[in-house]
Structure 1
Amino acid sequence: MIFGWSMGAAIALQLASHPRHEGLIAALVLDSPVLNWTEVIKANCASSGLPSAAGHLAIRWLTLHPLARAVGLPERIPLRSFDWSTRAADLTMPTLILHGTRDDSVPIQLSQALRGVRPDLVELEPFDAGHTLCWNTDPDRWRYAVTMWLTSRVPR
């Protein structure tokens, strides 16, 4: 089982989807997961009060080789390969997502969309919380949700 919060959840998904780890990971528990970097960048630009064009420009600076090099990146960042809304078929293990309905950094709609596409594998537990604050908002409910889900999904 792999557990990850926010960007750590995005890393957990990448790790779990790598063929080298096939059969080694029984489940994923993701809290406020970054499932689509393009949408998260745009959401964070908007919540910062920047015009929507800023998000589109930021994405180009990260994904186009000459622009990425200009800002000091050794290579472009392939944001599409981190987009789980289009890679939903690559998800092969039971996944619990805990996500705050008031998350203004990573919109809960991304988690809802993944659950909608993969209801066979993805369960979503919403909390009245901001980004990565599900446990802080209701630690007893958080522990209960994770414990019950793991008990029912992961063999010992």
Structure 2
Amino acid sequence: MEETASVWNSSTFNTDTNQKGQLTVRIIKDAKPKDKIYRLGDSNGLCLEVTPSGSKLWRLRYYFEGKAKMIGLGAFPETSLNKARKIRNEQQQTLKKGIDPSKERQKQQVNTKEVQEQAKIINKIDTLIRQLRNSKKSFKATTEPAE
């Protein structure tokens, strides 16, 4: 049976790592921008992409249904090395279930947008209800008979 999902073999682009084949915070901090984008491999598909502008971006490289894919996991230092590894492990679990992490993320983004839109509508309705209540109070105050 052919495997449909797996992580990228990081040894193909792993050049600046410690002896275990993993990145360290020191290696990451010492990574300098070059003329072109380059990647520092960690393990199990996790890599750090260093751009010419100096940005350091976490990427997860993996295969899904025979195609090489890559998703972003955040920027260093906002996303630490340990956090990037944790996210990688979560994405590996998604792959083991036969789910493409990229497609899963797209679904989550759509759901988040829908929830935000629903919240905006609810807030508008709430505002209109308050305005209606306030206008009824002021209407009552002006229409009550004087004694």
Which structure has the highest strand share of the two? 2
TM band (smaller chain)? under 0.3
State TM-score, norm by structure 1.
0.25
Which structure has the highest helix share of the two? 1
* Greater relative contact order, per chain length (Cα 8 Å cut-off, separation 6+): 1
